[in-house]
Structure 1
């Protein structure tokens, strides 16, 4: 049987590229090769020093010794694949076999879960390269795979399942890099051990997990121009750049297995990388850039600004050479960082580094502008898009019809964003890139109505079908039913307060910035923490309205979270009355939120950050039910749910409440 070709961080094609570039002394690959050799981890003749127990985080920790041998095995394997010299393969096998026979356990405090992920990942990558070597005996391969599964995978799985005992309390207790380290370890071990179920476990978590390593939580907030605030940005830049390194490795390994994690949520990892890169750069005068920042309220306190700057962790070539090298997009801040650190050095054990040698490729043709989004923000149209690698500027073009004719209304360089005030009407936008070869029209045309329009309308009068024409029909679930007792004696939605609720389609409001939600409600029982609506995907990410807040029981409150803690949303109103029909509405215009009761403003605040579009494709978009399983269901009735793009005026809200 033919030995498997490596397919984690490096493929056979990657090694051939490295060989050809170095053999012909092409820069900057040759500089990358010299960085690789300068690390001295691929020198022949070193002796393995395996340990039965590797300890991290307490007195007597010894994990540094394993890092040295782990890097030797990895670098020796790479050097064999580039040069073809079997002496390096034989030395790599020597290190792999020594540790497979000896290592039995990871120990220490919670830091052992960093060891499981960071080092399980790189050991597995070394093994994946060497599985194609005919000089590594099958029984030795099996022994090493067994060690990976018992010592490293078991800990990766335990951490992502239990989070060191915090899973059922606050899964977001741990920073993004803890999750991402263990996701990398789990994925690499799954491939190296021929366990696709383990690799799939990592992918599921990255796509939909509750912890900070999931893509939606690690890139916490999208600022205009797709600057994606990283979850650890208010902590420090050493850990923020580690998160970028780990997420990049996970996506690269999955890419080489045929799965595109890079592209999730409209290239959300690139948004995070651009934000972190710019945070660590300075302008022409040497002044660090001032970054936009959405307040972050987490287990370690409230973050107020992007902390620190100047980190030069070698993680950028991998990101650049996917999004620009493979996809032809632009990544100006990542590119600026690469320009400062090329050729990338080796990392110190947390990630592989050496990206100039490992990941730099001849660039793909430049793409068309893509990923265009448009939503209302403070009454204006806020546009963001992904640019193309050869663009010098972008033309923002607008038309009254999707077929045009389009007129250029703005000329933009980076950042790739524009705020437009086109006047009342329905408008269509596209982006055209200005390049040395002429204009290149973007992929997308998007539609926006100004000052807004009815987005979803559920009459809830015997029908949960969407009367707006968008097809966003609701579904009655469990104890939800139709009954009498509606306004003016009509049929209405009945919610039993036990299990009944209404489910809206996934992502029903995921493109909205400014919005209005209005509904008639009849609340029978004043239960703390019930929900009128709760739009989210889990108890970590949601936008909700509770008629009686548990923290302030005399208040109705808007709740918003991206990290299992209520992001500070001081938008409240007096507690909702019971025993009668009440019209309730919530509006957001820019950062100004307002609650209306019976057509009159009842509470307002400027400082509301979390618009619906920050939550992406929500999968639990509910009326009458909370994301938290212990919260009570809404007991009462509802009618005439209306959701609008844009914030309705007070006069329009008053008209709905009649």
Structure 2
């Protein structure tokens, strides 16, 4: 409304012309003479005589409320309320005639609009009149809408769209989430012609009523646009649903009505009643309704998308007026392009209100701001003595650039909170040094996409610093020029080309840091086009940074909550949390500019954050197989980095937005925030969220002292003892202390101290064979430390005699190969070697083997790897000599994390591979199965649930050699692999 008033005040040409139409409309007059009220109203049947009269009366309700909002003239507010009150006193029913849903939808919308505006802007609205009018709507109009929803579909599509626009408006006014979700679900996929799925063809944009006439098509898409606009104002983007399908519908209608040909397909509608149209109807062709500005404003003005045919229609139609069945006056009401987007400043990661809150809460010593402020002051990058290290080419070291950006941001925050100008001068000095030095588009030696991290950080730091009077205007302008001329192209190009790779090849965090850069630069430099570029990528980008790809799968849990599997959850947990932080930052910037992307796609970001948070609290999560053009073959959530919380201070931002601000439960994100509070900084995130994002005071420390760990158990293997325990009761621990003593001595010493790490196991390798040890564990958090647990005892195993069926051999050139065996974990071998490498045309490996005739199933667990082991696992081979046919299932390749089946054919130098899970970490289980001439390979995380990798046909003798191998490099000692749980069937 503020913008509408500005358009009128400035007498913007087209918008003001639309206002003049409103001002002159007979139903918009403060002295309008009511034609009712009636005790019964209807569009058809016995009471059809009331149709035009009551339509004008309810238009007067709507238009006078609108005039009140624009002009502030109370006479209009009184007139709107007067007509409402009159009908509320008299109206008794809407008869159950054919057109009843249309009446309730078309006129009900006008009533709800007026009630919403009057309730929140006109304090003189008589309370009884408001309650009576609301009662009239809920008791007479709303039941008609509910009846329509309850019936089997029976109408053309415009009916459902009209009903839904009013139902959603009512849901918003009544603050009824269930009603809202009902309207939303119906709009998207309801079983009716009047839903997005069934009213508009997703390929061509053809309308369900295109064969009927053009006016009803415009009526339907206009109502759909109204639904989308209502949702948009609630932070819910329905405009983009089903790949901007509404835009396609508008363009189809506009194109045909302009005189162009359009494709037409005869289709069967939901009811089966409206299927006789063989071609697009020319009835009412070129007779435009006032429904085009609302869609054009969103898709073109807000989002920067093309609507060439709709634009041509508006060039003929402007200024839009009013035709009774739509909001109308769109050139005035939906015209954000006329004034251009005005950004909130500061409005990057923090607004002025945020900065003031930090300052006030620290001054008052409120928790948790005070504790986080203490932490920030300790940060080496938050010191006023920090010296920048600018580079002409930022790509020479993104890490050094990022450190400087962090220092600029932290010093800016420290200045604002403390008032000490030394920190402001430091931040200004950093920014000026870089803007004076950078003279080229950065080129990184590697990982060009990750330059988005320092680029986004510099933009966010400068947006905070822009309020500092010590930053001279010319210096600030030079900094902005640097951001646009040299740094923006990096992020723009990466999201367009991904370095020439496949669009889905890069991880979410690579896309996400560049998306943050786009919106941050857009805000800083007042560039709506750059800002929109980032927003559109979040919604519709093809890469893994778009929210639908970042959270590719949703899992509904038994308690009804929804968890969103994160794109990098099968990779490792450090990068999964990194991506959550980047996209949270992205949404925070958008939120500060009025765009509710936190809520986008049913709070999909929250679903993803909750999944990652839950998994890293050592709680189980479901997992759906995930793959992309890398051939990831992720079959389970990765344990790499699991439970390590120390480097990802991103959770206060997520928790405070969803749960504190919006009241949406975020239990796992909340617990992460509690475990880390007060948040510190990190190299990839500004951090200190307990200071910068907290919205309400909290007791500190917040969590109770964790309870004593229980369920301790040990697993003994050659050279190691693994200790496991149950996760902290209530998940209150943010770390553990593991102690050990030799049995009977009671001299316990720390052997592991987990700080901000909740991994519930420890592997002790500093043991002596034959000795018995006692272990105990205490749980810690920032409140205190629990008592130590009951002790668990384990004896380090000594090497024993091999089972006689096993033998050791060496294929090719092997240096320092030897084997140890212990009768634990269903048979354990340790294979040690200094040098013995397998590769294309090279076959040098130590081999623990036995002979097997015929079909078999052979499995083992790779339990531990140390040193320069490039590959290890299972092998089946026809001969102990080099060459010959062989099949393997091993762990190795890049980063020693690829599980893969390999096979070699006699006479060929090339070794063939089929890739399994590409982020496999020990312990990992492998299996080879022979059935005749076909060999099958499998992998598992637990030896129970097996995943098929590949199969290959291979000619081998009936009796072959089957066993375990390792590939060792570098010629150094101390390289070994431990393999156990050996099973042959």
**2:665 matched to 1:325?**
no
The 8 Å contact of residues 4 and 132 in structure 1, kept in 2 or not, is answered as: no
- Select between 3-12 and 255-264 the one with higher mean Cα deviation: 3-12
Counterpart mapping for 1:179-194 below 5 A: 179-194=511-526
SS in 2 for 1:26: coil
Q: What is the match of residue 537 of structure 2?
A: 205
SS in 2 for 1:222: strand
1:13-44 Cα offsets, whole Å, 9 max, x none, are 11111112111112221111111111132222
Q: What is the match of residue 360 of structure 1?
A: 694
CA shift for structure 1 position 132: 1.7
Distance 1:183 1:4 in 2: 19
Q: RMSD value over aligned CA atoms?
A: 2.0
Distance 1:189 1:255 in 2: 15
The 8 Å contact of residues 29 and 357 in structure 1, kept in 2 or not, is answered as: yes
The 8 Å contact of residues 74 and 125 in structure 1, kept in 2 or not, is answered as: yes
**2:630 matched to 1:306?**
no
Counterpart mapping for 1:64-79 below 5 A: 64-79=399-414
CA shift for structure 1 position 185: 0.5
The 8 Å contact of residues 73 and 93 in structure 1, kept in 2 or not, is answered as: yes
1:48 corresponds, among 371, 388, 399, to: 388
The 8 Å contact of residues 90 and 135 in structure 1, kept in 2 or not, is answered as: yes
Q: What is the match of residue 294 of structure 1?
A: 624
Structure that is richer in strand per residue? 1
Q: What is the match of residue 605 of structure 2?
A: 269
1:20 corresponds, among 350, 354, 360, to: 360
Distance 2:399 2:514 in 1: 19
Q: What is the match of residue 499 of structure 1?
A: none
Distance 1:269 1:123 in 2: 24
The 8 Å contact of residues 205 and 214 in structure 1, kept in 2 or not, is answered as: yes
Q: What is the match of residue 478 of structure 2?
A: 143
Higher RCO, 1 or 2 (CA under 8 Å, sep at least 6)?
1
Q: Which runs of 5+ in 1 are unaligned?
A: 56-60, 283-288, 365-606, 608-658
CA shift for structure 1 position 90: 1.8
The 8 Å contact of residues 121 and 189 in structure 1, kept in 2 or not, is answered as: yes
CA shift for structure 1 position 273: 0.3
**2:30 matched to 1:30?**
no
The 8 Å contact of residues 74 and 92 in structure 1, kept in 2 or not, is answered as: yes
The 8 Å contact of residues 28 and 343 in structure 1, kept in 2 or not, is answered as: yes
1:286-343 Cα offsets, whole Å, 9 max, x none, are xxx2220000122332001110211311111100000011101111111121121111
CA shift for structure 1 position 254: 0.4
Q: What is the match of residue 232 of structure 1?
A: 568
The 8 Å contact of residues 44 and 91 in structure 1, kept in 2 or not, is answered as: yes
1:149-182 Cα offsets, whole Å, 9 max, x none, are 122210100011111112xxx3101111111010
**2:547 matched to 1:215?**
yes
Structure that is richer in helix per residue? 2
**2:393 matched to 1:63?**
no
The 8 Å contact of residues 520 and 531 in structure 2, kept in 1 or not, is answered as: yes
Distance 2:446 2:374 in 1: 37
The 8 Å contact of residues 449 and 511 in structure 2, kept in 1 or not, is answered as: no
**2:457 matched to 1:122?**
yes
The 8 Å contact of residues 543 and 549 in structure 2, kept in 1 or not, is answered as: yes
**2:588 matched to 1:252?**
yes
The 8 Å contact of residues 652 and 673 in structure 2, kept in 1 or not, is answered as: yes
1:195 corresponds, among 527, 531, 546, to: 527
Distance 2:466 2:600 in 1: 30
- Select between 24-33 and 203-212 the one with higher mean Cα deviation: 24-33
Label 1:146 to 1:161 Cα distance change in 2 as closer, same or farther (>3 A).
same
**2:346 matched to 1:346?**
no
Deviating above 6 A after TM superposition, structure 1's stretches of 4 or more consecutive aligned residues are none
Q: What is the match of residue 919 of structure 2?
A: none
Q: What is the match of residue 157 of structure 2?
A: none
1:340-365 Cα offsets, whole Å, 9 max, x none, are 111111011x221111111011189x
Distance 2:655 2:351 in 1: 18
The 8 Å contact of residues 328 and 363 in structure 1, kept in 2 or not, is answered as: no
Distance 1:135 1:339 in 2: 37
Distance 2:506 2:620 in 1: 27
The 8 Å contact of residues 124 and 188 in structure 1, kept in 2 or not, is answered as: yes
Counterpart mapping for 1:428-507 below 5 A: none
1:449-500 Cα offsets, whole Å, 9 max, x none, are xxxxxxxxxxxxxxxxxxxxxxxxxxxxxxxxxxxxxxxxxxxxxxxxxxxx
Label 1:297 to 1:4 Cα distance change in 2 as closer, same or farther (>3 A).
closer
Distance 2:596 2:693 in 1: 17
2:579 corresponds, among 232, 243, 249, to: 243
The 8 Å contact of residues 325 and 363 in structure 1, kept in 2 or not, is answered as: no
Q: What is the match of residue 614 of structure 1?
A: none
The 8 Å contact of residues 110 and 164 in structure 1, kept in 2 or not, is answered as: no
The 8 Å contact of residues 316 and 334 in structure 1, kept in 2 or not, is answered as: yes
Aligned residues: 348
SS in 2 for 1:41: helix
1:75-129 Cα offsets, whole Å, 9 max, x none, are 11111221222222122111110110102342224412211x1111110111111
The 8 Å contact of residues 402 and 453 in structure 2, kept in 1 or not, is answered as: no
Distance 2:638 2:422 in 1: 46
